[in-house]
Chain A
Amino acid sequence: MIINHPLLGPRDSAEFVYLGTSNLMDRPDPETATPEDWHDYAYLRDNPAGPHRELWFHEGGDRSILIVTRDTTTHEISSVELARNPGAQV
């Protein structure tokens, strides 16, 4: 696969480490979260057949973590953002 890095352009996915769903960025608020919230955050997955927002760590590149929207049935990638500032135009 080829991931179109927002800063570096097309890069082979072999340069990246897959970290899983981008929901992992939504860590529960330790002040207010219930045990159920923590369980759902850590263990439950949408696992969609279709577009999936997921994290790819560019370990073999600039070490950015990217939010990649990829269709899990076709592997087609529709958007790539920097996790540190999603949506930023670069």
Chain B
Amino acid sequence: MTQKNRLIGGQIDRNATLNFTFDGKNYTGHPGDTLASALLANNVRLMGRSFKYHRPRGPLTAGSEEPNAIVELRSGARQEPNTRATTAELFDGLSAKSQNRWPSLAFDAMAVNDRFSNFLTAGFYYKTFMWPAAFWEKIYEPIIRKAAGLGSLSMQTDPDEYDKGFRHCDLLIIGAGPAGLNAALIAGRSGAEVILADEDFRMGGRLNAETFSVAELEGADWAAQTAAELSAMPNVRLMPRTTVIGAFDHGIYGAVERITDHLAASPTGKPRQILWRIYAKQAVLCAGATERPIAFENNDRPGIMLSASMRAYANRWATTPAQRVAIFTNNDDGHRTAQDLHAKGVKIAAVIDTRPDAPSSMDYEVLQGAQVADTKGRLGLTFVEVVRADGTNRTIECGALGVSGGWNPNVQLTCHQRGRPIWKEGLAAFVPGGTLPSGMSVAGAAVGTFTTHGALKSGADAVRKALGLKGRAPAVPEAEDAPVNQTPFWYVTGCSRAWLDQQNDVTVKDVKLSHQEGFRSVEHLKRYTTLGMATDQGKTSNMGGLAIMAELAGKSIPEVGTTIFRPPYTPTAIGTLAGRMRGKEFHPTRLTPSHFWAKERGAVFVEVGNWLRAQWFPLPGETHWRQSVDREVLATRSSVGVCDCTTLGKIDVQGTDAAIFLNKVYCNGFAKLAVGKTRYGLMLREDGIALDDGTAARLAEDQFVVTTTTANAARVYQHMEFVRQCLMPQADVQLISTTEAWAQYAVAGPNSRKLLQKIVDAEFDISNEGFPFMACANITVCGGLRARLFRISFSGELAFEIAVPSRYGDALMRKLMAEGEEFDVTPYGTEALGVMRIEKGHAAGNELNGTTTALNLGMGRMVSKAKDSIGSKLAERPGLNEPDALMQIGLRPVNRDDKVTAGGHLMNALGPVDAAHAQAYVTSAAFSPTLGCMIGLGFLKDGGNRNGEKLRLVSPVTDLTVEVEVVSAHFVDPEGERVRA
């Protein structure tokens, strides 16, 4: 029998044995165990070290409020730091390591801090380590950081998968103790859609930890029976292993369901955890209560734990931290622990009760009006020093001490929308108060109803109220209803190294110092001492700190106030909150209609927003991207090239007022655009800054096709909806995006018409006369496929854009390549596209950067004065029209071999080089194969009048300074003859 401290009974499956290791040592446990219960059964009390002083620690609790017994669970990429041994379900092959210790848990060199604790008081670091300044990063901080932190990450990619989902219900019940189970029963029978969530893997809450009976059954059996009945109801969904982490606005709850954490490995395709967003019309919080400790000297030794947790270990997990235990209590609940452990054959050394009138017992000694003054035992409790009512001392030998200071309702979720709990004098505890999250009510111990009967009843009442159930209330199952007498007793007088926050090592002494130094508000106390900031979120520590601060300030606890509880209720894995949105699936990917063809061609792709676009098409033998891009440019300018420009936004604008509408959103005129014609348009934001540019093609009197830049497609569409619905509600205009409906290709170059004539059906005349520059039409291609043709050019060459339904895009591209062979047709990518637009001086994203006006872009005259359009008025502000306003210009290096860099700043040929003397900056740059040198576009103060001037382009961050000349932005075909050819 290796499990030395295993008791009789309990809700574990003794028929199966599970092997596991802790710090490399082998142990056994049973299904139903947690890591902590199994270790205790194996007589292991020491499970961790504290954060600051590295004090030896064992479990304080048996639940998710645990501050001490936190370990690194699993190993390799699945290593999970700071995992509570008290909630980690045992599985066969589980391996765990203790953390924040070196070299070993039993001997931790850093424990020396404990010796120097007098120097390491609250906030000491704010008062030193200041000289010399440079030493902070070099010396002090590295030492502090080395000591910082608890567990460690594996630094490997988390191999597990996570899901996120949505569930809707009429009623969400949080917590499946007596209140929650009875509530669910009544709600379920009413036919409502119910979700019952509990963080534990076994429904029942405290019923599993107590020996009470409910309706003549063992509490645990009643819980199991009720859970079974609920699971048979189609309208009730039981969610065990599910922690509701947050209550968000309007009845939206975040809940984390642990799917495979209790398994050795996840089945493929199955998530480790799921984040559920639960949409609940009503919610009943039955989260129970947390027992609170009493502060006394050295109250943090392994073996000292909360009394009700000790009871839970005995009753539910059939284990005890030691064979000889004592209890320190200020209320009757501590006596229950003594009774239950005694009944299971554990020797009760004594019950130390602060109350002079404490009940006595036949089975063990009760020390009335006594207090624990101190404790002994380096790695685990051996003795407690007791001061009796008459002031005499007594040493009691025991391996464990159960401490019971009363209970605090678990009000956390009621505070998530900044509701403030209120103080209930009778209970000496905070209960839910203020404005609760909409639709939330609270029942059971969470609202301060601590008896089993009371919990069952208040659960029932809350549900009937929430669902508006009429008729006679069903009978409440028979259960104990002993009166609760909870009197405040926070700490033993005169103690100083008495722990309040066991993980962060905040003692009574620290709170007193904080008060002495003027950090007296709860927020200051918390921040100065780090009280309640540990992984247990202050569940067992906040109240003690508050109580002491209140006493020092001579105020009542509610006057001192409570810190706000924030989500999550328990710490939540980041992976769970991210779900599937990681790696390549972080954002959806948009593929162009020619993608699969381009892939065959060996294209190199680039991310453009969510789009993947062909960047260039390397040919065999081309070793550098520039070779491919230069070839694509020259081939297009000399014969014909094809580029997939489907990604440009396309918005179908229809209605009898479509032209009036576009006249409002574009700063230039559109009212008189003829059917069959396309026009370049510039859109301004209302603040007068350029929003986007593109073309609008008038396919019919009442129909336009508007194109936007790839980057701004969604924003422009939204902007047009705002104008339509909010500014022009009486205009007859309808909008819809058709971006992905059409595969649209630019066919550019002197031979583009010849190529298209082989594709476009004969009845359509696309000669220069029949289809001049800026013409547009609905046509058919390849023997009757409907298509759209636009004669527009981004490259500056004779060019067309042709569009067919997307499903035919792949075929059309292949057709263009085949028919184009005689012209050596060349597919080109976004790089060549970019080079050609710079050569032509077209503004793009780098120029439309959200701070430039039509004037800056050299389109000042485009802004029509004859009409009102969005942005035209605020564009007239003086600051946007100064005499030396920035103007778009072209740049070329004076020395043809020099580099031109986008992002470089422009300085006068002479004079200082600094921000104050900058003449503006370079927006775009590229090597122009056409001109045989690098060229750039940029903005320049008074740029309109500085043609031919020599400037210095400086880019210190890329270590570049070159002499450049200001030239026209239109490097190629400035007169625009080619596009009209």
Asked whether B385 is an interface residue with its Cβ less than 8 Å from the other chain, the reply is no
Which residue from A2, A19, A33, A42 sits with its C-beta under 8 Å from B252? A2
Query: Which of A19, A27, A28 has the most C-beta atoms of chain B within 10 angstroms of its own C-beta?
Result: A27
Interchain CB contact under 8 A, A24 and B250: no
Interchain CB contact under 8 A, B249 and A57: no
Asked whether B587 is an interface residue with its Cβ less than 8 Å from the other chain, the reply is no
Asked whether A48 is an interface residue with its Cβ less than 8 Å from the other chain, the reply is no
Interchain CB contact under 8 A, A42 and B250: no
In the assembled complex, the Cα of A30 lies from the Cα of B875 at a distance in Å of 13
**Size class of the A contact interface (CB-based, 8 Å):** 20 to 34
Interchain CB contact under 8 A, A42 and B726: no
Asked whether A7 is an interface residue with its Cβ less than 8 Å from the other chain, the reply is no
Asked whether B873 is an interface residue with its Cβ less than 8 Å from the other chain, the reply is yes
Asked whether A55 is an interface residue with its Cβ less than 8 Å from the other chain, the reply is yes
A75-87 Cβ-contact flags toward B at 8 Å (1 or 0): 1110000011100
Interchain CB contact under 8 A, A57 and B722: yes
Closest A residue, CB atoms, query B876: A35
Min CB distance B951 to A, Å, is 35
Interchain CB contact under 8 A, B249 and A2: yes
Asked whether A25 is an interface residue with its Cβ less than 8 Å from the other chain, the reply is yes
Determine the chain B residues whose CB is within 8 A of the CB of A27 once the complex forms. Answer: 686, 727
Which residue from B686, B725, B874 sits with its C-beta under 8 Å from A65? B725
Closest B residue, CB atoms, query A76: B438
* Closest A-B pairs by Cβ, 9 of them: A30-B868, A2-B250, A1-B249, A25-B726, A65-B725, A84-B725, A75-B249, A84-B729, A38-B873
In the assembled complex, the Cα of A55 lies from the Cα of B726 at a distance in Å of 9
Min CB distance A14 to B, Å, is 9
Which residues of chain B from 869 to 885 have any CB-CB distance to chain A below 8 Å in the complex? Answer: 873-874, 876-877
Residues of A within 8 A of B (CB): 1-2, 12, 17, 19, 24-25, 27-28, 30, 33, 35, 38-39, 42, 55, 57, 59, 63-65, 74-77, 83-85
Which residue from B250, B279, B718 sits with its C-beta under 8 Å from A59? B718
Min CB distance A2 to B, Å, is 4
Determine the chain B residues whose CB is within 8 A of the CB of A24 once the complex forms. Answer: 722, 726
Asked whether B567 is an interface residue with its Cβ less than 8 Å from the other chain, the reply is no
Asked whether B687 is an interface residue with its Cβ less than 8 Å from the other chain, the reply is yes
In the assembled complex, the Cα of A35 lies from the Cα of B250 at a distance in Å of 42
In the assembled complex, the Cα of A75 lies from the Cα of B438 at a distance in Å of 11
Which residue from A2, A12, A64, A77 sits with its C-beta under 8 Å from B725? A64
Determine the chain A residues whose CB is within 8 A of the CB of B249 once the complex forms. Answer: 1-2, 75
Say yes or no: A42-B874 contact (C-beta < 8 A), given A1-B249, A2-B250, A75-B249.
yes
Interchain CB contact under 8 A, B877 and A35: yes
Closest B residue, CB atoms, query A85: B729
Closest A residue, CB atoms, query B877: A35
Determine the chain B residues whose CB is within 8 A of the CB of A57 once the complex forms. Answer: 718, 721-722
Interchain CB contact under 8 A, A25 and B686: no
In the assembled complex, the Cα of A64 lies from the Cα of B722 at a distance in Å of 9
Which residue from A1, A39, A65, A76 sits with its C-beta under 8 Å from B726? A65
Which residues of chain B from 248 to 297 have any CB-CB distance to chain A below 8 Å in the complex? Answer: 248-252, 279
**Size class of the B contact interface (CB-based, 8 Å):** 20 to 34
Closest B residue, CB atoms, query A65: B725
Interchain CB contact under 8 A, A75 and B250: yes
Min CB distance B661 to A, Å, is 14
Min CB distance A61 to B, Å, is 12
In the assembled complex, the Cα of A74 lies from the Cα of B729 at a distance in Å of 31
Interchain CB contact under 8 A, A30 and B252: no
Say yes or no: A65-B729 contact (C-beta < 8 A), given A75-B249, A75-B250.
no
Determine the chain B residues whose CB is within 8 A of the CB of A25 once the complex forms. Answer: 726-727
Closest A residue, CB atoms, query B729: A84
A sample of 15 more A-B contacts (CB under 8 A), given A30-B873, A35-B873, A42-B686, is A1-B248, A1-B252, A2-B251, A12-B279, A24-B722, A27-B686, A38-B873, A39-B874, A42-B687, A55-B722, A65-B721, A74-B417, A74-B435, A84-B725, A85-B729
In the assembled complex, the Cα of A24 lies from the Cα of B689 at a distance in Å of 17
Closest B residue, CB atoms, query A2: B250
Interchain CB contact under 8 A, B727 and A17: no
B719-746 Cβ-contact flags toward A at 8 Å (1 or 0): 0011001110100000000000000000
Say yes or no: A17-B718 contact (C-beta < 8 A), given A1-B249, A35-B877.
yes
In the assembled complex, the Cα of A75 lies from the Cα of B416 at a distance in Å of 13
Determine the chain B residues whose CB is within 8 A of the CB of A19 once the complex forms. Answer: 722
Min CB distance A40 to B, Å, is 11
Interchain CB contact under 8 A, A83 and B250: no
Determine the chain A residues whose CB is within 8 A of the CB of B417 once the complex forms. Answer: 74-75
Determine the chain A residues whose CB is within 8 A of the CB of B874 once the complex forms. Answer: 38-39, 42
Determine the chain A residues whose CB is within 8 A of the CB of B714 once the complex forms. Answer: 59
Interchain CB contact under 8 A, A33 and B726: no
Which residues of chain B from 739 to 764 have any CB-CB distance to chain A below 8 Å in the complex? Answer: none
Min CB distance B432 to A, Å, is 17
Determine the chain A residues whose CB is within 8 A of the CB of B868 once the complex forms. Answer: 30
Min CB distance B564 to A, Å, is 15
Min CB distance B979 to A, Å, is 35
In the assembled complex, the Cα of A25 lies from the Cα of B721 at a distance in Å of 12
Determine the chain A residues whose CB is within 8 A of the CB of B726 once the complex forms. Answer: 24-25, 55, 65, 83-84
Min CB distance B164 to A, Å, is 12
B683-720 Cβ-contact flags toward A at 8 Å (1 or 0): 00011000000000000000000000000001000100
Min CB distance B23 to A, Å, is 45
Chosen A-B contacts, 7 in total, with CB atoms closer than 8 Å, are A1-B252, A39-B874, A42-B686, A63-B721, A75-B249, A76-B438, A83-B729
In the assembled complex, the Cα of A18 lies from the Cα of B727 at a distance in Å of 17
Which residue from A65, A76, A77 sits with its C-beta under 8 Å from B722? A65
Determine the chain B residues whose CB is within 8 A of the CB of A63 once the complex forms. Answer: 721
Closest A residue, CB atoms, query B870: A27
Closest A residue, CB atoms, query B686: A42
Closest B residue, CB atoms, query A27: B727
Query: Which of B248, B249, B868 has the most C-beta atoms of chain A within 10 angstroms of its own C-beta?
Result: B249
In the assembled complex, the Cα of A33 lies from the Cα of B714 at a distance in Å of 31
Determine the chain A residues whose CB is within 8 A of the CB of B727 once the complex forms. Answer: 25, 27
In the assembled complex, the Cα of A17 lies from the Cα of B721 at a distance in Å of 12
In the assembled complex, the Cα of A39 lies from the Cα of B877 at a distance in Å of 10
Which residue from B252, B438, B729 sits with its C-beta under 8 Å from A12? B252
Determine the chain A residues whose CB is within 8 A of the CB of B729 once the complex forms. Answer: 83-85
Min CB distance B741 to A, Å, is 17
Determine the chain B residues whose CB is within 8 A of the CB of A12 once the complex forms. Answer: 252, 279
Which residues of chain B from 769 to 783 have any CB-CB distance to chain A below 8 Å in the complex? Answer: none
Min CB distance B851 to A, Å, is 16
Closest A residue, CB atoms, query B872: A30
Min CB distance A4 to B, Å, is 9
Determine the chain A residues whose CB is within 8 A of the CB of B877 once the complex forms. Answer: 35
Min CB distance B903 to A, Å, is 30
Determine the chain B residues whose CB is within 8 A of the CB of A75 once the complex forms. Answer: 249-250, 417
Determine the chain B residues whose CB is within 8 A of the CB of A33 once the complex forms. Answer: 873
Min CB distance B579 to A, Å, is 14
In the assembled complex, the Cα of A35 lies from the Cα of B727 at a distance in Å of 19
Determine the chain B residues whose CB is within 8 A of the CB of A85 once the complex forms. Answer: 729
Determine the chain B residues whose CB is within 8 A of the CB of A2 once the complex forms. Answer: 249-252, 279
In the assembled complex, the Cα of A77 lies from the Cα of B417 at a distance in Å of 15
Min CB distance A12 to B, Å, is 7
Closest B residue, CB atoms, query A75: B249
Query: Which of B435, B722, B727, B877 has the most C-beta atoms of chain A within 10 angstroms of its own C-beta?
Result: B722
In the assembled complex, the Cα of A42 lies from the Cα of B252 at a distance in Å of 34
Determine the chain B residues whose CB is within 8 A of the CB of A84 once the complex forms. Answer: 725-726, 729
Min CB distance B289 to A, Å, is 28
In the assembled complex, the Cα of A35 lies from the Cα of B876 at a distance in Å of 9
Determine the chain B residues whose CB is within 8 A of the CB of A42 once the complex forms. Answer: 686-687, 874
